[in-house]
Amino acid sequence: MESLIREKRFRSYPDGGIQVVYDLVIIGGGPAGLSAGIYAVRYGLNTLVLEKGFVSGQISTTGEVENYPGFTSISGMELMDKFSEHAKAAGVVVESRDVLDVRSEGELKVISTDSGDLETFSLIIATGASPRKLGVSGEDGFRGKGVSYCATCDGPFFKGKNVLVVGGGESAITDSLILSDLAASVCVVHRRDELRASKVLQDRAFAKPNIEFSWNTVLEEIIGDSVVREVILRNAISGETWTSPIDGIFIYVGVEPNTGFIDVEKDDYGFIVTDGKMATSKAGIFAAGDCRAGVLRQVITAASDGVIAAFEAYEYVSAMKHKGE
């Protein structure tokens, strides 16, 4: 494959200022963004990865990852450390910046960040998704005082205590298992009578003596003083409500995409719509990973998206640079 011109391109301004024009800027340093970065650097693209806080992604808050080939079992944090090390060794440059807005100026994309504008020929959005809120009374007020969205992060605070987990998906059951090794008891509150999580996780959770399930149950309200003390629960079928004392509540009711800053076509939930080449509705802007409308939200699918997006960005930039030759 033909390698792109490695030198950086520059844009001069009337006031004498000069700005680097990147071939590719990748927004997000999770599995999708770093995989895209590794491939983009190897294609010879002058690439920059922007990350809001530290490089990691949502997966770093996951306990054990058992479905990423090559690792029978590895913690989400450790897997991301390995992604990071690999990206660094490949020469991927990461800057910590908060992206505010993206606009097009001719063939360039201008990215406004909290520390100035950046210009690039192409862009990959790999900003992932964040835990969705349940939206019940007390959820916001008791966040960090008994309400959490991450057992890996906050589970140790509930050693020997009684906790509630809301949700029946992969995240809820993965984190219930983590919590069951720390807490005295874990009660999984699920709005239906069947879990969405994979069978292997279900079997493991059902076998744990200190995990119980409250089926067809919804969390109505979180009550406490300086910390959480109790919850009001409701049976979704009978409508019966009751109060239950509790020390901690872990909420896993899905995820919301971090896509508010970018104006491209999205689905009803805000996930970015792409074609099979990860191209969005705007030329030169690609999307990869959990922020993209797709069926699976796994580390491996995010990495795969990132690689496809990097290749397509390479093709796009290459065609642009050789236009008119």
Under the rule (CB under 6 A), what is the footprint of ligand NAP? 62, 65, 67, 134, 166-172, 174, 191-192, 196, 218, 252-255, 297-299
Q: Which is nearer to ligand NAP, 99 or 197 (CB)?
A: 197
User: In the complex, which residue's CB is closest to ligand NAP?
Assistant: 169
Q: Which is nearer to ligand NAP, 248 or 284 (CB)?
A: 248
User: What is the nearest approach in angstroms of ligand NAP to the Cβ of residue 130?
Assistant: 10
Sole residue written with tokens 């496809």: 308
Give the E-state strand segments of 28-98 in sequence order: 47-51, 64-65, 74-75, 94-96
Q: Which is nearer to ligand NAP, 192 or 277 (CB)?
A: 192
d(CA 247, CA 262): 39
Q: Which is nearer to ligand NAP, 88 or 215 (CB)?
A: 215
Positive or negative, the CA dihedral 47, 53, 54, 60 is negative
User: What is the nearest approach in angstroms of ligand NAP to the Cβ of residue 122?
Assistant: 27
- Pairing state of beta strands 18-27 and 9-12? antiparallel
Active site residues: 150, 153-154
Please answer whether residues 24 and 285 qualify as being in contact, where contact means their C-beta atoms are separated by less than 8 angstroms. Answer: no
Backbone phi and psi for residue 100, each to the nearest 5 degrees, phi listed first? -100, -35
d(CA 87, CA 70): 18
Q: Which residues pair with 219 in a beta bridge?
A: 233
d(CA 226, CA 160): 20
Numbers of helices and strands, H then E, in the chain:
6, 20
Cβ count within 10 A of residue 134: 18
User: What is the nearest approach in angstroms of ligand NAP to the Cβ of residue 119?
Assistant: 34
Q: Which is nearer to ligand NAP, 37 or 76 (CB)?
A: 76
d(CA 38, CA 81): 14
Please answer whether residues 250 and 166 qualify as being in contact, where contact means their C-beta atoms are separated by less than 8 angstroms. Answer: yes
User: What is the nearest approach in angstroms of ligand NAP to the Cβ of residue 66?
Assistant: 7
User: What is the nearest approach in angstroms of ligand NAP to the Cβ of residue 93?
Assistant: 28
